[in-house]
Structure 1
């Protein structure tokens, strides 16, 4: 057992009665089935999938060169035994496609777990209060669409070459200085003289 690679895993995260958990639905490609309700767990160093799910959908497995054991954070070895196999799945989650390796391991009633290997690779944006998961590229696309989906859509064709002038960014900066600019020199502490306003004649 000493030559086996170890994988840390927090079993307490599986007890939904002890703390709120964050799940994401994974739609597995090539294996039409209901979405996998997958736990996002930063306490798990790897991704895990239940053997019952693998058998149910007949997902092909590959054998690990070095079997792994599951260790708890307190250093004790899990009673699940060695992990001998993994699977690679292409999944769709919140409009984002992922190719994810999962270690096949008994994980209770949870179909699958996404751990730190997935969190560090995908860097999802998580709203823990709302329980929402988005991905950086989705935010960038949304921001670009909000900024200006088509700057030429509302301009007549003859004005397309001047499209930049009509952009919002142009209103945030002053025009560049030119040689024929007229300067207005202010006199410090100067007093304003009363002016005369000519309202013109009525009637």
Structure 2
């Protein structure tokens, strides 16, 4: 989740046990700092509800990224043109 959104909405954060260093596909370090915080987030998509632990980091293009593991596990229907997940 985007750290600016977390600040703006005053969402309470928790500290990660161990910081996460983000890396690009070529192995180089991405970003200027490690990820050190997460938030508990309630997610509701078409009646499917679950609580997620979501890391807090600067995102420039979106408020939230759903990871590959979540997408593979839930296999949602995605309308890329309208930006809708079912």
TMscore range, shorter length? 0.7 to 0.9
User: Scaled by the length of structure 2, what TM-score is found?
Assistant: 0.81
| Counterpart among 28, 37, 47 of residue 85 in structure 1 | 37
1:133 positional shift = 3.1
- Give the strand-richer structure, 1 or 2: 2
| Counterpart among 51, 57, 62 of residue 14 in structure 2 | 62
| 1:1-203 aligned within 5 A | 49-126=1-78, 133-134=85-86
1:56 positional shift = 1.1
Mind listing any 5+ residue stretches in structure 1 that lack a counterpart? 1-48, 135-203
User: Scaled by the length of structure 1, what TM-score is found?
Assistant: 0.38
Instruction: Name the SS of the counterpart of 1:79 in structure 2.
Output: coil
Q: If you compute each CA radius of gyration, which structure gives the higher value, 1 or 2?
A: 1
Change in Cα spacing, 1:79 to 1:115, as seen in structure 2 (3 Å) is same
1:79 positional shift = 2.4
Instruction: Name the SS of the counterpart of 2:65 in structure 1.
Output: strand
Mind listing any 5+ residue stretches in structure 2 that lack a counterpart? none
1:76 positional shift = 0.9
The two structures, once aligned, show a CA RMSD in angstroms of 2.2
Change in Cα spacing, 1:109 to 1:75, as seen in structure 2 (3 Å) is same
1:96 positional shift = 2.4
Count of matched residue pairs: 86
- Give the helix-richer structure, 1 or 2: 1
- CA offsets 1:117-149 (integer angstroms, 9 cap, x no match): 321332323456776533xxxxxxxxxxxxxxx
Name segments (4+ residues, structure 1) moved above 6 Å: none
